[in-house]
Amino acid sequence: MVLEHIGINVADAGAMAGWYCECLGLSVSRQTETAYFLADSTGRMLLEIYTNPAVKQIDYAALEPGSFHIAFVSDDIVADRARLIEAGGTADGKIFTDGDDEFAIVRDPWGVAVQLAKRGTSMV
């Protein structure tokens, strides 16, 4: 099996997809009336951001980052964290380390936890 995508149902898929493209470097791989499939720079992983009002939406802002987050590789945690905050994100805690790994959490403008990860040894 190959992981194709992870999907999240949100109130305004268009606005959120635009922010993820502009601020996190994703690109629209496929778009429908209600969904955006966003590709990372490798083109191997997709994040689907969609709006389906018939399905209950999760209150992402109420979730602890340890319960749900979307992680991105960062070469410069300090600069990327500051850039995302400047673009409307909100810091969630401080930059922290775990062994050779460095992390930060920034909430996107819709409350979703975005983890910035700088690994001592790359996982991807």
| Per-residue pLDDT at 67 | 96
Q: How confident is the model at residue 122 (pLDDT cuts 50, 70, 90)?
A: confident
Compute φ and ψ for 32, nearest 5 degrees: -120, -170
Query: Do 80 and 45 reside in the same domain of the chain?
Result: no
Q: How much of the chain, in percent, has pLDDT values that exceed 90? A: 94
The whole model's pTM is what? 0.94
| Per-residue pLDDT at 49 | 98
User: Is residue 115 one of the residues assigned to a domain?
Assistant: yes
User: Is residue 121 one of the residues assigned to a domain?
Assistant: yes
Residue 109's domain is classified under what CATH number?
Answer: 3.10.180.10
| Per-residue pLDDT at 123 | 85
Residue 11's domain is classified under what CATH number?
Answer: 3.30.720.120
The mean pLDDT of 5-14, rounded to a whole number, is 96
| Per-residue pLDDT at 124 | 79
The structure tokens listed for 7 are 């999907």
Strands annotated E in 1-124: 5-9, 27-31, 35-39, 46-50, 70-73, 90-91, 96-98, 101-107, 113-118
Give the chain's domain count: 2
Please give the radius of gyration of the chain, using alpha carbons only, rounded to the nearest integer.
14
47-101 residue pLDDT tens:
999 999 999 999 999 999 999 999 999 999 999 999 999 999 999 999 999 999 9
Does pLDDT of 103 surpass 90? yes
- 8-state DSSP, 19: H
| Per-residue pLDDT at 5 | 95
